[in-house]
């Protein structure tokens, strides 16, 4: 604005310097006033539009920042009274891992809910990626979609960092390059309805890298109600947990202590089962140690009785011998007696 006025004054001064030459013109004063008004006019439409555009951009950024802060304050961990194991897939292929990207079609894994409630956490089985890798970032984050990983309804937020993985593995007595169970806690309310498929979707990886994590998976479709982006026949080693609020428990008319009792084994996590054929377990034959004959108490207290068969056999033999002797004596007596009688 000031520059425009200065321009007008300059033109006015120029007009006065040319006053002698302009005396011939009758309306030189009107021309001078006209030039002065033009110089002190408003800025050009182009400059005005640029200022409006910059102001609107600033307002959009401020609104976006306020929206993000509002969402982050609202997305706390779900408040549930009980928590139960829902989906579980525990078969894996030895020496094979997969990762998440933030690029569509390479950034999701899916499962189907078999319980109603709120999704509270998801457990993956894996290890920390190499820290000096040129392709792997230090953290990833995302959300949960329903029915479709690209366009389905979006719920909640989640995140997992390499530092969290190392800390969780250390709590299990494992090194950062050893595989163990890794917990991802869900922020916000993510409803779970029986029979509905859900997608854990990654939409951001830090350090402008393309990949994150090394997670175990199973082949040959060990879990038919879900899949991993890598292959429709692949499923991550994964466990999902569903919680219920007090209102949901009252609506079901179930005692909360009963549900808590059913979920007590959630802390004892199983060891995943290898699918590799070379890992077949060969059971060694049992070792049979020589056994000494044992003597029972009855045998110690009462002496062993002779066998009745032997007794009967010996007595029958004796009786037979006696009968033979008698018959011999009788026959001799009969011969003698009959002989004397004849004489």
40, two tokens: 């002190």
Average pLDDT, the chain: 76
Most confident of the following: 37-41, 229-233, 257-261, 316-320: 229-233
- Burial class of 315 by CB neighbour count within 10 A (0 to 12, 13 to 18, 19+): exposed
pLDDT at 34 over 80: no
Helix or strand holding residue 52 (H, E): helix 45-74
pLDDT recorded at residue 253: 75
- Distances from the Cα of 235 to the Cα of 90, 134, 139, 219, angstroms: 9, 26, 22, 7
pLDDT digits (tens, 9 = 90+) for 154-187: 999 999 999 999 999 999 999 999 999 999 999 9
Helices 28-39 & 2-17 angle (0-180, nearest 10) = 160
pLDDT at 334 over 90: no
pLDDT digits (tens, 9 = 90+) for 222-257: 999 999 999 999 999 999 999 999 888 888 877 656
Confidence of residue 329 (pLDDT cuts 50, 70, 90): low
Q: Going from the N-terminus, what domains does the chain have, and what CATH number goes with each?
A: 2-73 (no CATH), 82-276 (2.60.120)
Residue with tokens 């004796």: 318
pLDDT digits (tens, 9 = 90+) for 282-308: 444 455 555 554 544 544 455 554 454
pLDDT recorded at residue 47: 46
Paired residues of 112 in beta bridges: 197
| Dihedral, CA of residue 42, residue 44, residue 45 and residue 48, to nearest 10 | -70
Residue with tokens 């050893």: 178
Mean pLDDT of 191-218: 97
Q: Residue 269 and residue 219: Cα distance in Å, rounded?
A: 21
71, two tokens: 């969402």
Q: What is the DSSP string of 295-328?
A: --HHHHHSPPPPPHHHHHHHHHHHHHHHHHHHHH
Residue with tokens 């321009």: 7
């Amino acid at each position: 604005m000031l520059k425009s006025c200065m321009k007008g004054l300059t033109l006015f001064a120029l007009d006065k310097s040319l006053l002698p030459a302009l005396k011939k013109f009758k309306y030189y004063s009107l021309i001078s006033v006209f030039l002065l008004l033009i110089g002190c006019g408003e800025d050009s439409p182009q400059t005005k539009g640029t200022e409006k555009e910059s102001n609107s951009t600033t307002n959009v950024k401020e609104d976006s920042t306020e929206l993000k802060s509002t969402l982050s304050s609202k997305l706390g961990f779900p408040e549930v009274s009980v928590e139960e194991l829902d989906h579980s897939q525990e078969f894996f292929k030895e020496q094979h891992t997969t990762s998440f990207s933030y690029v569509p079609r390479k950034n999701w894994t899916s499962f189907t809910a078999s319980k109603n409630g709120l999704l509270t956490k998801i457990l993956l089985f894996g290890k920390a990626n190499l820290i000096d890798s040129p392709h792997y970032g230090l953290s990833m984050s995302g959300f949960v979609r329903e029915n479709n990983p690209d366009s389905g309804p979006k719920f909640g937020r989640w995140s997992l960092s390499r530092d969290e993985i190392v800390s969780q593995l250390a709590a299990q007595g494992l090194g950062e390059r050893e595989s163990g169970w890794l917990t991802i806690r869900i922020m916000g309310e993510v409803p779970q309805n029986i029979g509905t498929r859900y997608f854990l979707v990654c939409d951001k990886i830090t350090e402008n890298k393309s990949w994150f994590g090394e997670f175990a998976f199973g082949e040959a479709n060990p879990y038919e109600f879900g899949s991993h982006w890598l292959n429709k026949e692949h499923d991550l080693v994964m466990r999902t947990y569903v919680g219920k609020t007090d209102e949901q428990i009252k609506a079901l008319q179930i005692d909360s202590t009963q549900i808590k009792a059913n979920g007590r084994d959630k802390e004892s996590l199983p060891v995943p089962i290898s699918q590799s054929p070379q890992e077949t377990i060969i059971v060694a034959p049992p070792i049979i140690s020589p056994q000494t004959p044992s003597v029972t108490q009855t045998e110690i207290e009462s002496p062993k009785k002779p066998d009745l068969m032997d007794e009967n056999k010996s007595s029958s033999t004796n009786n037979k011998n006696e009968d033979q002797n008698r018959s011999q004596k009788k026959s001799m007596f009969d011969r003698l007696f009959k002989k004397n009688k004849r004489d």
